[in-house]
Structure 1
Amino acid sequence: MDFSLTEEQLAFRDVVRRWVDAEAPKDWMRQLEADEENYPVALWDKLAEQGFFGIGIPEEYGGLGGDVVTQMIFAREFARTAGGLLWVWGLTSFGGAKTIASVGSKEQKQRFLTKMAAGELRVSLSMTEPDGGTDVLGAMKTHAEKVDGGWKLNGAKMWTTAARVADRLLVLARTDRTVEKKHQGLTMFFVDAKSPGITASLLPKLGMRAMGSCEVHYEDVFVPDEDVLGEPGKAWYAMLPTLNNERIMVGAQCLGAIDGVLEDAVAYMLQRKAFGGIIGRFQVLQHYVADIATWQKTTELLLYYVAQLQSEGKPCGVDANMLKMVATENAVKAADLGIQIMGGMGYSAETDMQRYWRDHRILRMTPISNEMVRNSIAESLGLPRSY
């Protein structure tokens, strides 16, 4: 399989790379990420002005078109400087838009995708239960009951990123408690974030601080029928096709972070002097850089492979899980070695190496823990289910 990018894809990559260097440099990303109280609206506006929210959205809805490979290219280039702030773009373009495109009605696509493509609608994903973590199904207590003209939604969600500034909340809730299996009887709601009964509280955290992850409570929130995505009770089946895209997105983010780590590590080793010369001459540090470069290449090859399978409509569930596991672990290892190379400056908030580590450590646990990924891979080889 040829993983080479086409001329058109290379041209797009170069455009994005120049824009990132000019409009989203690392020093600005570092400043934005440090402000936990304020969502980076200025970054959102820059992305919207350039039209990047339209990547992957069909042209008939005002988007730029492009498949998952195109989105992967953008995510990698942007994450090189943005790190976890990639999700300023990703929550709406890769989370909300992918879901609407997959299960939304024609009317919903026209109503929502056009605004997403224009950068006029901000989406937040509200899936995780307070007692559940990755056990979304087993812990599902958020529920909705049918009422005249819509539904009444009650419950709570954790780690709903950017909820305080969202226009719409993508909420998974149980609508049928009489089902035989936990994945049945679930419904997806695209909730107006300004609806009465919704409260969002900020959750301070280690990384991606400016994204503003929240605990969200829903108390008798009315959701009209027109804001139900897909068939009521069948949300889990509708979500499954989007899971591979999510893992590809994580892989692209992690590869972008490794790019940034390697870039900073080499630059530092060429200018930092100790014991009579640049530290780049030290064999052990050269070994560290060689390890990072190798992790970069293995992640890149697996990412391109899985993205190509997905774009061609071929099965890639196990491969996407492998990508998620490998990419997240390589990104964290790379950032950790980057800190070691830079010493005290790598630990300093004045540089980006510590931010790469903080932003990507969470991805070993989410959207699914790497332990559960390993279980799934083992199950695909014929071993019994462990959870």
Structure 2
Amino acid sequence: MDFSLPEECRAFRDTVHRWVDAEAPKKWARELERDEHNYPFELWDKFTAAGFHGVGIPEEYGGQGGDVIMQMLLARELARSLGGLAWIWGITSFAGSKSIGLYGTEAQKKKYLPLISTGQLKAAIAFTEPSGGTDLLGSMRTNAERVEGGWKINGEKIWSSSAHVADYLLCIARTDKNVAKKHQGLTLFWVPTNNTPGLTITPLAKLGMRSMGSCSVHLADVFVADENVLGEPDRAWYMLLPTLNNERIMVGAFCLGVIDGILEDAVDYMKQRHAFGKPIGQFQALQHYVADIATMQTTTELMLHYCAWKQSKGENVGNEANMLKLIASENANQAADLGIQILGGMGYSAETDMQRYWRDSRLWRIGPITNEMVRNGIAENLGLPRSF
């Protein structure tokens, strides 16, 4: 059993690590996220110049290539400094390149993947409904009806991150109401946002994940052409399942990157700060805190690498991806809380990053699926009756 990364992966990881320190340091991340509604286009442009938008997109479509392991290494390194701002890269990577790459037509791949890989196209996810949250299937009210040349969509979505600057929305809607099971009869649409009649996007205020923006999306007779349907109509849920696993692995990588940043800051502060005539790093209680953070880091890393490796081999990783999302999000949020405790008053200050890591990681215990629902799924996979 070999736990080491291939040389190509190690070289890529080290290159991104140096890039983050030089181009996206923590101080700059704090400045970017202070203005909740000021999207950091300069960060997007830096990702473009570095070629990050092309990671995971085949070279034949203008990308950099690389599998899920390379994508997770990138996600981890970005989040080490940027925290939730790493989603600036992640959202389009999931909504655009991953989705179109998996179930787009050849024409759709040739049209959109080169634009994504060169940073010319931003995408957002429009799945969650205001009344449903995690109960996406049961709460689905957004519907689409066939019209000449395409479809008309009506409904409302919420928590669509970066929708206000996106060129396209990856939107799911019900296209058949006469189905035996609620996961049937759903279709994926690639909805253009520029000057689209009937489409209203409104930014929302929130605790963390600032600057990139999260929005409500209202669709009133929004026309989408047939060529902007992704995959086979009425079968969206079957297509989405592999990408949802990828999203949970990506969340695990972001959480691990946050833990990396927390541990860096905690150790540095404990070496520099003095109290009661000695460095606080000499205090046993704080040593226990930092040891706990380091243990969270290693356990999350092992689970992440296992999940990414398994998916890269084409194996079913659904249950493991759920477990990863669960432990990674809870480890990251607990580590950030310990980090605040280590820094004391400065941990609560907006002049340091612990509070930012805490605010951003708190969301990952809720989305893209709540940890309570993750636990339900894990228990059901062990043979227990469905609890919801």
How many aligned residue pairs are there?
387
Q: Is the 8 A contact 2:339 2:354 kept in 1?
A: yes
- Establish whether residue 38 from structure 1 lines up as the match of residue 38 from structure 2: yes
Matches within 5 A, 1:274-293: 274-293=275-294
Q: CA deviation at 1:357?
A: 0.3
- Hey, what's the Cα distance between the residues in 2 that align with 1:320 and 1:287? 29
Instruction: State the percentage of identical aligned residues.
Output: 66
Partner Cα distance (1:200, 1:244) in 2: 28
Within 5 Å, which residues of 2 pair with 1:319-338? Answer: 319-338=320-339
How much has 1:211 moved relative to structure 2?
A: 1.3
Secondary structure of 2:314's match? coil
Q: Residue 211 of structure 2 aligns to a residue in which SS?
A: helix
| Ranges of 4+ aligned residues in structure 1 off by more than 2 Å | none
- 1:91 is the counterpart of 2:91: yes
- SS in structure 2 opposite 1:152? strand
Runs of 5+ in structure 1 lacking a partner? Answer: none
- Please, what is the CA RMSD of the aligned residues? 0.6
**What's the offset of the Cα at 1:96?**
1.7
Partner Cα separation in structure 1 for residue 179 and residue 144 of structure 2 = 15
Letter in 2 for 1:299: T
Quote the Cα distance in structure 2 between the aligned partners of 1:147 and 1:80: 47
Structure 2 residue aligned with 1:75 = 75
Query: Could you tell me how far apart the structure 1 residues matched to 2:168 and 2:95 are?
Result: 12
Shift of 1:178: 0.9
Q: How does 1:199-238 map to 2 (within 5 A)?
A: 199-238=200-239
User: What is the match of residue 246 of structure 1?
Assistant: 247
* Structural mapping, 1:99-114, within 5 Å: 99-114=99-114
SS in 2 for 1:4: coil
Q: Once the 2 structures are TM-superposed, how far is the Cα of residue 384 of structure 1 from its aligned partner? A: 0.2
Q: Secondary structure at the match of 1:360?
A: helix
**Residue 337 of structure 1: CA displacement?**
0.1
User: 1:351: Cα distance to partner?
Assistant: 0.4
Return 5+ residue gaps in structure 2 as ranges: none
Kindly state the Cα deviation for residue 94 of structure 1 after the two structures are TM-superposed: 2.6
Separation in 2, partners of 1:126, 1:316: 24
TM-score with structure 1 setting the length: 0.99
Q: For 2:100 and 2:54, locate their aligned partners in 1 and report how far apart those are by CA, in whole Å.
A: 14
Q: Which position in structure 2 is the counterpart of 1:339?
A: 340
1:188 corresponding residue in structure 2: 188
Q: Is 2:154 aligned against 1:154?
A: yes
- Distance in structure 2 (CA, Å) of the matches to 1:285 and 1:170: 45
Amino acid at match of 2:353: D
Q: Secondary structure at the match of 1:39?
A: coil
> How far apart in 2 are the matches of 1:216 and 1:242?
22
SS of the counterpart of 1:382? coil
Q: Any idea what SS the aligned residue of 1:220 has?
A: strand
Cα deviation, residue 95, structure 1: 2.8
Distance, in Å, in 1 between the alignment partners of 2:73 and 2:94 is: 13
Q: Distance in 1 between matches of 2:259 and 2:371?
A: 18
Name 1:365's counterpart in structure 2. 366
Q: Deviations over 1:158-197 (max 9, x none)?
A: 0011111000000000011111110011000000012111
Task: Tell me the SS of whatever aligns to 2:121.
Answer: coil
For residue 268 of structure 1, what is the amino acid of its counterpart?
Answer: Y
Q: Tell me how far 1:243 sits from its aligned partner.
A: 1.4
| Structure 1 position 136 matched with structure 2 position 136 | yes
Aligned match of 1:301: 302
What's the counterpart of residue 17 of structure 1?
17
SS at match of 2:216: strand
Cα deviation 1:126-173 (Å, max 9, x = unaligned): 000010000000000001100000001111000011111000000000
Paired with 1:220 and 1:184, the residues of 2 have a C-alpha distance of 22
* Whole-angstrom distance in 2 between the partners of 1:73 and 1:2: 18
Write the letter of the residue equivalent to 2:208: G
User: Which residue type is aligned with residue 96 of structure 2?
Assistant: G
Q: Contact 2:56–2:63 at 8 Å: present in 1 too?
A: yes
Structure 1 residue 282: Cα displacement: 0.2
Aligned 8 A contact 2:94 2:243 in 1:
no
